[in-house]
Amino acid sequence: TEAESIAIRKWITAALKDGANSPRKVQSWIEQNTEMGAPSIPTIAIVMREEGFEPIGYVWAKKGK
């Protein structure tokens, strides 16, 4: 649903701000810090790309940094 999508994006953004730098770390962060089940790695990667991140080896970085 749209509400779930908004909540997932909110938690992914919070994980990124807290230093998670890969889809797997974001997934672990969500599992440890929320009551909800974490989305899949591909779903997290899509949101990270939409937020301006790109993969650089095993970690992701904000474009332009």
Question: pLDDT tens for residues 1-15?
Answer: 888 889 999 999 999
User: Count of CB atoms within 10 A of residue 55's CB?
Assistant: 13
Among 63, 41, 37, which Cα is nearest to 52's? 63
First to last CA, the chain: 34
* Higher per-residue confidence, 1 vs 21: 21
**Contact at 8 Å (CB) between 60 and 54?**
yes
Question: What predicted TM-score, i.e. pTM, was given to this entire model?
Answer: 0.88
CA distance 39 to 41: 7
**3-class DSSP assignment, residue 62:** strand
Condensed to tens digits (0 to 9), the pLDDT of residues 25-42 reads: 999 999 999 988 899 999
